[in-house]
Amino acid sequence: MATWTTITDAALEPGKPIRSVDGLALRDNAIAIAEGAAGAPKIQNAAVNTGALGAEKFQTGTTERDWVMARNAGAGAGVIGTYAFAYIAASKSFGAIVSGGNLFPSDTVNDDFSSLSGTWKCMGSASGSGSTLWLRIL
């Protein structure tokens, strides 16, 4: 984590070269603000709400967690960050990464014959061949 350094106006003289110690502090202070370092100015909610940080607006009256979860809940099926219960015709252990072309959406008995797209991470296990939970990562 970067450390916040207070730089006095006297240390930065117009028309004079900047001292390396002050240049390093200027560089590190931007990081310290983003990391919420002790003594650093805090990013105000108004900056986020106006889109000044390049982020979508937070909904008024909700926490950041609720904002993120609402966007996950609204995601389309099969997009990055979503889960699918899918069949694979090979043994796979927890954490295995596979191409969606090898996965087929399923219930506990049958599979759908159209494969998934993208890259998926196994969030369960499949012995021999079977269905388990998958997370799309790419």
Domain count, the chain: 2
% of the chain exceeding 70 in pLDDT: 83
- pLDDT, tens digit (0-9, with 9 covering 90-100), for 30-56: 999 988 899 998 887 666 655 544 445
CA distance 73 to 61: 18
CA distance 96 to 93: 6
Domain that holds residue 126: 83-136
Q: Let me know if residue 108 belongs to a domain.
A: yes
DSSP H or E stretch at residue 104: strand 104-105
| Pair 21, 68 in one domain | yes
Task: Identify the pLDDT of residue 72.
Answer: 75
Task: Identify the pLDDT of residue 24.
Answer: 92
Task: Identify the pLDDT of residue 71.
Answer: 74
- How high does pLDDT run on average in the chain? 83
Does this model's pTM top 0.75? My answer is no
Q: Let me know if residue 4 belongs to a domain.
A: no
Task: Identify the pLDDT of residue 78.
Answer: 83
Asked if pLDDT for residue 135 goes beyond 90, the answer is yes
| Pair 14, 38 in one domain | yes
| Pair 68, 90 in one domain | no
